[in-house]
A and B are shown apart, each in its own frame.
Chain A
Amino acid sequence: MGKTFAEKILAIKSGKESVVAGEIVTVSPDVVLSHDNTAAISKKFKQIGIDKVKYPEKLVIPLDHCVPAASEKYASNHKTIREFVREQKIENFYDINTGVCHQVLPEKGHVLPGTLILGADSHTTTYGAFGAFSAGIGRSEVASIWATDEIWLKVPETIKINIEGKIPSGVYPKDIILHIIGNLGADGVLYKAVEFSGKVVREMSISGRMTLCNMAVEMGAKNGYVEADEKTIEWLTPRANKKYEIIKSDSDAKFEKIINYDISKLEPQIACPHTVDNVKPVSKVIGTKIDQALIGTCTNGRIEDLKIASQILKGKRISDRVRLLVFPASMEIYAEAMELGILRELIRSGAVIMNPGCGPCLGAHEGVLAPGEVCLSTANRNFKGRMGCKEAEVYLASPATVAASSLYGEITDVRGNLK
């Protein structure tokens, strides 16, 4: 019987000949992510009672959750992190001028196929888009890895999700993953590894695959994974900071389940308040008034996301009743969008271009909502209170749907607005 990707990589990282799903193993990760929570983690680390991080070269620390600092408290938090980084001689530190962690790690070459990446952030699942095994863990666990270079993981069963068919016009990777989450539910694949495959995934850009894996956690997955291929290698070639080996599931691997989707007739999808699995086709919520529109975040702040938004908005002006905030996911993307003239188009249409970072996605700053307001966002969560106010509502959609909706001040079917 063959092995799944999860079984193969966790055997390698635990130094065992082979492991099976259900087994608990002790592994040593290749990369350990923390962000603005590094200050809190360093406090836990010091509670252990040792002075030096065991392998500082494994740590990657981008600041992104509240950048630049919104208040004295956030500023002090960042200051503590910068001091810790200097003290521990951590080379892979990315200050506020870099971008959102889940974009920065791949861009800077820290994400490679066949690596194990753990991070104190639930959307660490994103790196599966490059054929890595990546999962979120807690702060105490990161502190403990800094000290010991070890952590226990249960080898997950794998659910394979085959996405077949032809992507209809106006439908994007975000619509596909929202549809799958709506179909399977917020706990649909709890504790499981998810392997995305099928023709649609093979044809999908790296950016789209990142959107799928980023949101895998919203249906309870431990990790999301896409087999690395020529596209992955091409994307990584100018960035990879070391050699890597592609690890794939065997053709006779034992999957717990194989779920098939044909998306040929899918319409644009919307996640309605206040859960990510409350997904409806756009036709069911068309006309819902919005006050704010957000394009960006680790889910949808990449160049192809900004490009499609600018194409929809080109030569038009957004509704007077809407604030459109655009957060490129990284400075690299920001610069590229500037060179391509995308930012100019967005500004002419009435958008506010923000600095790369998480922005108001977790309710910290830069566009939080007032009571009674509605935001249509390309982010990954719409929980009550998520954008800073529990009396506000958050809907989630693709960048194209958000752009089209900002023109009318209400949720709009983008298919009528494509040139």
Chain B
Amino acid sequence: MSIKGKVWKYGDDVNTDVIFPGKYTYTITDPNKMAQHALEDLDPEFAKKVKKNDVIIAGENFGCGSSREQAVTCLKYAGVGAVIAKSFSRIFFRNAINQALPAIECKEAVDNITSGEEVSIDFEKGEISCNKGVFGFSPLPKEILSIFNDGGLIPHVKKILKI
């Protein structure tokens, strides 16, 4: 599988409060409505203009802060095809796998990609192609890849429990 999309580039330590504000965590339950508030306190233009398969590029520690899974849900339903960061906060990383949103660690790609350019990601080959070249990334460990491949944790558990 591969995707192609426009880049939205941000810095280090993008936290879950700016991705999906705490004031909405119990009042907005529809994932499509969550998407309307994605990155609201970081970039108010994002939710209005993001298109399907667009790619977020960020620095270190993306998704730090709260365990709120809506931080992943809002990006996924906004159409984001992947987040590429230098590193992820651990709970955000787990939540991304569990909702089958590709979260890719690749420092080189982050350093070489600029906001607004178009990039493509080949998930089978583990390659990111951008204006400055092609950068490789490691696949998930096999124990975890199956969760992602099943479409997230809930469908994965259904499969395990044979429901």
- Residue interface mask B129-145, A partner, CB < 8 A = 1: 00000000000010110
The interface size of chain B toward A, counting residues with CB under 8 Å, comes to: 42
Contact of B98 among A66, A71, A141, A383 (CB under 8 A): A141
Among listed A87-95, A143-151, A316-324, A399-407, interface-contacting one: A143-151
- Chain A residues within an 8 Å CB radius of B27: 71, 73-74
Q: In the complex, which residues 61-111 of chain B have their Cβ closer than 8 Å to any Cβ of chain A?
A: 61, 64-67, 69, 72, 87, 89-91, 94-95, 98-99
CA distance A40 to B154 in the complex (A): 13
A249 at the interface (CB under 8 A from B): no
- Chain A residues within an 8 Å CB radius of B41: 384-385, 390
Q: Is the Cβ of A140 less than 8 Å from the Cβ of B154?
A: yes
CA distance A73 to B23 in the complex (A): 12
Which B positions have Cβ atoms within 8 angstroms of A?
A: 12-13, 15, 17-18, 21-23, 25-27, 29, 40-42, 60-61, 64-67, 69, 72, 87, 89-91, 94-95, 98-99, 141, 143-144, 152-154, 157-158, 160-161, 163
- Chain B residues within an 8 Å CB radius of A152: 143-144
Main secondary structure of the interface of A (DSSP, over half): loop
Q: In the complex, which residues 188-238 of chain A have their Cβ closer than 8 Å to any Cβ of chain B?
A: 190-191, 220, 222
Q: Is the Cβ of A65 less than 8 Å from the Cβ of B18?
A: no
Q: Is the Cβ of A144 less than 8 Å from the Cβ of B153?
A: yes
The 5 A-B pairs with the shortest beta carbon distances in the complex, nearest first, are A362-B22, A187-B61, A383-B17, A385-B41, A49-B163
- Residue interface mask A340-354, B partner, CB < 8 A = 1: 000000000000000
- Chain A residues within an 8 Å CB radius of B40: 385, 390
CA distance A186 to B64 in the complex (A): 8
A48 at the interface (CB under 8 A from B): yes
Q: Is the Cβ of B91 less than 8 Å from the Cβ of A122?
A: yes
Q: Is the Cβ of B154 less than 8 Å from the Cβ of A47?
A: yes
A363 at the interface (CB under 8 A from B): yes
CA distance A146 to B40 in the complex (A): 32
Q: Is the Cβ of B21 less than 8 Å from the Cβ of A190?
A: no
Known A-B contacts A140-B98, A220-B89; A148 and B141 likewise in contact (beta carbons under 8 Å): no
Q: Is the Cβ of B141 less than 8 Å from the Cβ of A24?
A: yes
- Residue interface mask A250-280, B partner, CB < 8 A = 1: 0000000000000000000000000101000
Q: Is the Cβ of B67 less than 8 Å from the Cβ of A220?
A: no
CA distance A408 to B81 in the complex (A): 50
Name the CB-closest residue of B to A145: B157
Q: Is the Cβ of B26 less than 8 Å from the Cβ of A66?
A: yes
What size tier do the contact residues of chain A reach?
A: 35 or more
A136 at the interface (CB under 8 A from B): yes
Count A-B pairs with CB separation below 8 Å: 135
Q: Is the Cβ of A40 less than 8 Å from the Cβ of B29?
A: yes
A139 at the interface (CB under 8 A from B): yes
Name the CB-closest residue of A to B90: A191
Q: Is the Cβ of A24 less than 8 Å from the Cβ of B144?
A: yes
- Chain A residues within an 8 Å CB radius of B154: 44, 47-48, 140, 143-144
CA distance A137 to B90 in the complex (A): 9
- Chain B residues within an 8 Å CB radius of A248: none
Q: Is the Cβ of B22 less than 8 Å from the Cβ of A138?
A: no
Q: Is the Cβ of B65 less than 8 Å from the Cβ of A388?
A: no
Q: Is the Cβ of A122 less than 8 Å from the Cβ of B67?
A: yes
CA distance A65 to B94 in the complex (A): 23
Interchain Cβ contacts under 8 Å between A and B, 13 examples: A37-B25, A40-B29, A48-B158, A49-B161, A50-B163, A147-B161, A186-B13, A187-B89, A190-B89, A190-B90, A277-B13, A385-B18, A386-B22
**A301 → chain B, closest Cβ, in Å?**
18
A364 at the interface (CB under 8 A from B): yes
A164 at the interface (CB under 8 A from B): no
- Chain A residues within an 8 Å CB radius of B143: 24, 152
